[in-house]
Amino acid sequence: MALLQENLLLLLLFFCMALLVTSIRQYTPPNVTHLTDLFSHVPFDQGLSTYFGGPNIKLINNGSYANIALDKSTGSGLISRNKYYYGFFSSAIKLPAGISSGVVVAFYLSNTDVYPNTHDEIDIELLGDDKTNVWVLQTNLYANGIVSTGREEKFYFWFDPTEQYHQYSIIWNSHHKVFLLDNIPLREFPNTGAFASTYPSKPMSLCITIWDGSAWATNGGRNPVNYTYAPFVASLTDMEMSGCISTAKEVVPSCPKSNPSGLEPVYGQEFAQLSEQQRIAMNWARSKLMFYSYCKDPSRFKGILPPECK
C-alpha cells in the first residue's frame, strides 16, 4: 500500500511538472536596446527602507541584493527613501518557486501615503496563478484615487520567472508610461492630454512588496495561499531609480543640474518615444503573450469602453 501511494505521488508530481513546462510560452524574444544599461545600480539599504514586515526582509552583500518574504504572520516590502516625479525605475526579480497561488509580488509607484483618497499608481503586479501554478504579469495604472478607471492588462511569461533574475522596469515621463520586461516593452500608455484623469501627475514612491492576495488574485479566494509551502521568498537585485526628487508635497521636484530639460529626468530620445525596434518588440509581446486587456472587456465598463480603446 505504501509503495502504491509513493508511486501515485511521483506520478502526480510528474504531471504537475509537465503542466508547468507546457504552460510557459516557449518563445525567443526580439532584440532590443537595453535601457537598463544606462543607469547605475542603487544599493537597497541606501535607496530604500522598510515599508512593512521588517523581520521578513533580508539585505545581502552590502545591500546589493534583498530578499522579501511572505509567511503566515506577514508579508513584507521596501519603499524608496525619496519620492519621484517622473523617472526610470527598474529591478531584477526572481520569483518564489513552487506552489504560488494567491501570492502577489508588486513593483510599483504610489503616493497613497500622502494622498490616501486621491492617490496615483503605476503597477507591475506578479500574480501566483491559481490554476497551473505559473506566474502571470499584470500591468495597471490609475490616478486621483479612481480605482474604477484602472487599465489592467495581463501577460504570460516566455520563461520561468522563478529560475533566475529578470528585469522589470517602468518609464514615467510627460510623454508616456511604458512597462518593460527584460527591456522589451509590454505596453505603452501615451500622455496625449485626452486622458488626464488616468495619467498620474503627483510625485510617487517606488515600492516592492510581497503579500497575500488570495481574495483578490484567485477568483474571490477560491485558491488561497497555501502556507504549507511558506515562506515565499522573492529575491531582488540591480535596483535602478532615476527621477526628479520631491522633498515635500508642495515643493517642485528637483532634477540633476546636468539635466537640460528641467523636470524630465529621462529626457533622451530613447525615452520620449519608442524606437521602431521597441515597437516591433512590443507588438510581438502583445500578440504572443497578452491574454487579458481592459479594452476587450466591455462588460466591465457597462458596454462603453474607455476612449483610448478606440
- For cell 530620445, what's the residue? 269
Any catalytic annotation for residue 121? yes
Any catalytic annotation for residue 125? yes
Given the residues 6, 125, 270, 308, select the one marked as catalytic: 125
How would DSSP label each residue in 62-96? TTTEEEEEE-SS--EEEEESSEEEEEEEEEEEEPP
3-state secondary structure of 46: helix
Distances (CA, A) of 130 to 100, 125, 307: 8, 15, 32
Given the residues 121, 153, 240, 264, select the one marked as catalytic: 121
Nearest to 44 by CA among 11, 75, 79: 79
- Burial-class residue 304 by CB neighbours within 10 Å (0-12, 13-18, 19+): exposed
φ/ψ (deg, to 5) at 109: -110, 135
Burial 227-249 (b: 16+ CB within 10 A, else e): eeebebbbbbbbbbbbbbbbeee
Distances (CA, A) of 307 to 84, 100, 151, 169, 304: 28, 36, 12, 26, 9
Q: Which positions are annotated as active-site residues?
A: 121, 125
